[in-house]
């Protein structure tokens, strides 16, 4: 029986987690009310009452309700019926505007400050609501206006920024459809320049004679006179903010019609000077991570004193973006602090396993194996992702980990996304493990009910050590005697949610993925998993020879396929995914198979597509693997890691429609045997850009290099398998270049949470508040 304090603690944890995660009702699966309906809330009816209907409440009401529930849980008497949150917060502050001189918290609503006539509306029109929003509305770029050049020094074609007063203006239309605005601008030193706008008639109303402007653009020289093709214009407001806009490194903001740069700069300045300058990051951590303090950073991003100031400001704020991202990720993995199994996992046992292999581990395998063993020895639940190209030796490493688990008397599971993969893994595990006396079983849908029942009974009685099967079967229908380690072969089939579900059990968990993604992305998208990378292939592999062909040369491609078939090899032909539409895809694949039967009458051709049942697919794959026919025409379903060592060539039709990582993935299906292998990309119509993309695949066989290139070309949102990851739009951060800073931020986040898993320490109150504020801004894109 749990004592009352224990129950209270059990209830408090999820409630505090909910608070940390911004009241999204995601802290507990099924929602808070489900938790409250259960036994732990029994002794606390008032808490249950306070949170009644929680899911239906708005964000502020939720916050209100949750705070009240937490207070009740501590035995603090209930507050009188609540007033809406905003009103309460307003009431706590001076009635109209905060008195000058009071330092304001970042969460203060903008309405507390006088922004000048119409100012508040301009700011809210930009989506800004609190002082924090204004602070984090960073300049999009910076311009060095410390010494505006003298016009005489500017060369033809050079880009320059000049400040001056409009002397005269003129509109002309040299030919129909073309409108040119000219303004003569006189600088403070008396020089004159003609500024020109092409086809931007709306600019005219901002050009009043006598008003001050700052113009950026390209200079054209005509003898002694200069003309400026304007690209960016700022009007200086009357209020004399000019000093913020000239004579220094100046931030240029994203603005809207009617909101001047000058106004935005003054708003940032007002905010900065009114703000309580406290830092949510305690100083010893700042020192440890070589970060400047928050106030210096915020001033520096808006009003840098010099380049160095801007650089350290950018570094700190960028670091913070990742820090909060990682904190949020780590806190989402509710099990971050769960205890898992503790294995002995000795070096000697690893050596025993390796000695039984027909090869030596590569350096990368050995490194990753040690990372895994470290996790296994610790009492925390392992949650580790092993990434590596197809054939890099992940399965061998997983077998070693399973061996270590069995050595300690535990059972292990190896789960695959499909039956055929499960069978393949089963054969591998038998080869790796049975010589060590490990008993390996298979559990798949194709077994008879009697066989299944027998297998389940053996697992439950502990008479079998390692079970290989499809994830669904193992997860839903197995009672384990003593499960210690679960390996999930993901092959990017399983989403985040499924992984979580799995992680909520007690075994250590190892996820294998053959989809290399850039480290920066892995660190942010899979923030709840530790990351191991096998970035080295076993020796002696010959890379797949890849060639890009224009589709009018495709007969060449199939001529080559035929020569391979005559040598006894087999071929894959893959058709492109069409708008995720399986019916159309099927049509395209069927059509292609028919065409090929005409072109290659000698070849035996069969078809595999997404509309087949799992059993049908497996049957076709098995026949292909056994050499029952020569060419497998398929839609992208063969992406999953089935081994057909005799297949030596793959043709990918409409290659331009695939992402690079996906092409790489597909290509990994050949080159699994000893024969030299080929991949021919047949591209239909494509742009230069597409060509550049496909050339990357032609030029590299390293999945990580390809993924990096893909990230650079297409941005994180487009990368396969990462769309659901909930990475917010970073303002300063750039996943392409920030690996190092992400790792440091992640280390700090882990360090913080390892000492204080729920950020409860009073010294971290400001950090917690900042985390909450930022979490609320994140639009989670979690799809599943």
Residues that bind ligand ADP (CB under 6 A): 359, 361-362, 365, 388, 390-396, 538
CB of 493 to ligand ADP, least distance (A): 15
CA distance 262 to 245: 7
The runs of H, that is alpha helices, within 378-448 are 394-407, 419-433
List the single partner that 420 binds among ligand ADP, Mg ion, none, CB under 5 to 8 Å by kind: none
Element (H, E) at 286: helix 283-288
Q: Which is nearer to ligand ADP, 63 or 365 (CB)?
A: 365
Q: Which is nearer to ligand ADP, 351 or 563 (CB)?
A: 351
List the single partner that 392 binds among ligand ADP, Mg ion, none, CB under 5 to 8 Å by kind: ligand ADP
Name, in order, each residue with C-beta under 8 angstroms of 424's C-beta and a sequence gap of 6 or more.
416, 641, 642, 643
DSSP secondary-structure letter at 14? H
CB of 728 to Mg ion, least distance (A): 32
CB of 540 to ligand ADP, least distance (A): 7
Phi-psi region of 666 (alpha: psi -120 to 50; beta: other; left: phi over 0): alpha
CB-side exposure of 88: number of CA atoms within 13 Å?
A: 11
Burial of 1 (0-12, 13-18, 19+ CB in 10 A): exposed
CB of 497 to ligand ADP, least distance (A): 24
Q: Which is nearer to ligand ADP, 429 or 523 (CB)?
A: 429
List the single partner that 245 binds among Mg ion, ligand ADP, none, CB under 5 to 8 Å by kind: none
Q: Which is nearer to ligand ADP, 289 or 390 (CB)?
A: 390
Q: Which is nearer to ligand ADP, 392 or 701 (CB)?
A: 392
Cα–Cα distances (Å) from 523 to 156, 329, 533, 746, in that order, read 47, 10, 12, 8
List the single partner that 359 binds among Mg ion, ligand ADP, none, CB under 5 to 8 Å by kind: ligand ADP
List the single partner that 634 binds among Mg ion, ligand ADP, none, CB under 5 to 8 Å by kind: none
CB of 637 to ligand ADP, least distance (A): 18
List the single partner that 703 binds among Mg ion, ligand ADP, none, CB under 5 to 8 Å by kind: none
Query: Footprint of Mg ion on this chain (CB under 5 A)?
Result: 641
List the single partner that 361 binds among Mg ion, ligand ADP, none, CB under 5 to 8 Å by kind: ligand ADP
CB of 641 to ligand ADP, least distance (A): 6
Q: Which is nearer to ligand ADP, 168 or 674 (CB)?
A: 674
List the single partner that 538 binds among Mg ion, ligand ADP, none, CB under 5 to 8 Å by kind: ligand ADP
Q: Which is nearer to Mg ion, 641 or 659 (CB)?
A: 641
Q: Which is nearer to Mg ion, 139 or 641 (CB)?
A: 641
Alpha-carbon torsion (476, 480, 486, 489), positive or negative: negative
Q: What are phi and psi of 405, to 5 degrees?
A: -65, -45
Residue 223, Cβ neighbours under 10 Å: how many? 5
CB of 389 to ligand ADP, least distance (A): 7
CA distance 150 to 160: 10
What are the structure tokens assigned to 148, written together?
Answer: 């505006």
CB of 387 to Mg ion, least distance (A): 12
What's the chain's Rg over C-alpha atoms?
32
CA distance 591 to 93: 72
CB of 352 to ligand ADP, least distance (A): 16
CB of 302 to ligand ADP, least distance (A): 49
Closest CA to 649 of 728, 760, 572: 572
List the single partner that 662 binds among ligand ADP, Mg ion, none, CB under 5 to 8 Å by kind: none
List the single partner that 362 binds among Mg ion, ligand ADP, none, CB under 5 to 8 Å by kind: ligand ADP
CA distance 114 to 534: 57
Cα–Cα distances (Å) from 139 to 103, 143, 234, 247, 255, in that order, read 24, 10, 14, 17, 10
Q: Which is nearer to ligand ADP, 394 or 768 (CB)?
A: 394
Q: Which is nearer to ligand ADP, 642 or 749 (CB)?
A: 642
Q: Do 470 and 452 contact (CB within 8 A), yes or no?
A: no
The runs of H, that is alpha helices, within 567-659 are 582-599, 614-625
């Amino acid at each position: 029986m749990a004592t009352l304090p224990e129950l209270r603690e059990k209830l408090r944890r999820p409630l505090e987690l909910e608070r940390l995660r911004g009241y999204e009702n995601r802290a507990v699966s099924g929602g808070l009310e489900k938790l409250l309906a259960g036994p732990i809330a029994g002794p606390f009816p008032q808490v249950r009452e306070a949170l009644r209907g929680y899911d239906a409440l708005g964000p502020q009401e939720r916050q209100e309700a949750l705070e009240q529930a937490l207070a009740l849980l501590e035995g603090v008497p209930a507050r009188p019926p609540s007033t809406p949150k905003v009103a309460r917060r307003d009431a706590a502050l001076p009635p109209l505007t905060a008195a000058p001189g009071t330092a304001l918290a970042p969460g203060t609503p903008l309405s507390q400050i006088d922004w000048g006539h119409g100012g508040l509306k301009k700011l809210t029109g930009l989506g800004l609501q609190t002082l924090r929003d204004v602070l984090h509305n960073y300049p999009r770029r910076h311009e060095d206006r410390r010494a505006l050049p003298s016009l005489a020094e500017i060369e033809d074609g050079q880009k320059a920024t000049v400040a001056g007063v409009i002397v005269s203006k003129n509109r002309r239309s040299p030919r129909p459809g073309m409108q040119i605005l000219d303004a003569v601008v006189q600088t403070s030193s008396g020089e004159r320049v003609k500024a020109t706008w092409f086809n931007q008639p709306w600019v005219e109303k901002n050009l009043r004679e006598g008003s001050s402007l700052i113009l950026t653009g390209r200079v054209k020289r005509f003898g002694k006179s200069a003309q400026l093709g304007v690209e960016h214009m700022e009007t200086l407001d009357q209020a004399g903010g000019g000093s913020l806009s000239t004579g220094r490194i100046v931030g240029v903001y994203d603005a809207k019609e009617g909101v001047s740069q000058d106004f935005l700069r003054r708003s940032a300045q007002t905010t900065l000077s009114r703000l309580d300058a406290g830092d949510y990051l305690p100083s010893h951590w700042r020192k440890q991570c070589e970060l400047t303090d928050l106030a210096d950073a915020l001033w520096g991003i808006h009003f840098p004193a010099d380049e160095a100031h801007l650089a350290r400001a950018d570094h700190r704020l960028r670091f913070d973006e990742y820090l909060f991202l990682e904190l949020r990720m780590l806190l989402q993995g509710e099990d971050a602090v769960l205890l898992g199994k503790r294995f002995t996992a000795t070096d000697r046992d690893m050596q025993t396993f390796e000695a039984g292999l027909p090869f030596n581990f590569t350096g990368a395998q050995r490194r990753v194996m040690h990372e895994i063993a470290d996790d296994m020895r610790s009492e925390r639940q392992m949650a580790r992702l092993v990434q590596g190209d197809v054939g890099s030796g992940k399965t061998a490493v997983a077998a070693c980990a399973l061996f270590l688990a069995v050595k300690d008397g535990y059972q292990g599971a190896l789960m695959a996304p499909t039956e055929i993969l499960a069978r393949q893994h089963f054969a591998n595990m038998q080869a790796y493990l049975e010589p060590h006396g490990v008993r390996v079983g298979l559990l798949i849908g194709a077994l008879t009910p009697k066989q299944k029942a027998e297998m389940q009974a053996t697992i439950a009685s502990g008479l079998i050590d390692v079970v290989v099967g499809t994830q669904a079967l193992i997860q839903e229908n197995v009672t384990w005697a003593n499960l210690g380690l679960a390996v999930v072969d993901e092959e990017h089939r399983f989403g985040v949610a499924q992984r979580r579900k799995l992680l909520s059990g007690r075994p250590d968990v190892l996820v294998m993925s053959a989809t290399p993604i850039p480290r920066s992305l892995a660190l942010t998208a899979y923030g709840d998993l530790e990351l191991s990378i096998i970035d080295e292939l076993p020796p002696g592999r010959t890379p797949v020879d890849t060639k890009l062909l224009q589709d009018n040369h495709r007969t060449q491609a199939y001529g080559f396929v035929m020569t391979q078939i005559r040598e006894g090899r087999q071929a894959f032909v893959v058709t492109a995914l069409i708008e995720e539409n399986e019916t159309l895809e099927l049509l395209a694949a069927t059509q292609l198979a028919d065409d090929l039967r005409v072109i290659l009458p000698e070849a035996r051709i069969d078809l595999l597509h997404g509309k087949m049942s799992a059993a049908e697919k497996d049957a076709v794959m098995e026949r292909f693997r056994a050499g029952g026919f020569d060419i497998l025409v398929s839609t992208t379903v063969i992406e999953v890691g089935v081994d057909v060592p005799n297949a030596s060539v793959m043709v990918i039709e409409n290659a331009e429609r695939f992402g690079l990582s996906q092409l790489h993935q597909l290509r990994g299906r050949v080159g699994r045997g000893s024969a030299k292998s080929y991949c021919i990309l047949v591209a239909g119509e494509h742009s230069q850009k597409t060509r550049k993309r496909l050339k990357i695949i032609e030029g590299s066989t390293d999945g990580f290099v390809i993924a990096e290139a893909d990230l650079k070309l297409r941005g994180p949102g487009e990368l396969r398998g990462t769309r659901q990851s909930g990475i917010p739009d970073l303002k300063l951060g750039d996943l392409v270049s920030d690996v190092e800073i992400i790792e440091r931020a992640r280390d700090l986040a882990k360090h913080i949470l390892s000492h204080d898993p729920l950020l409860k320490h009073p010294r971290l109150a400001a950090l917690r508040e900042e985390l909450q504020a930022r979490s609320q801004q994140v639009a989670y894109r979690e799809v599943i």
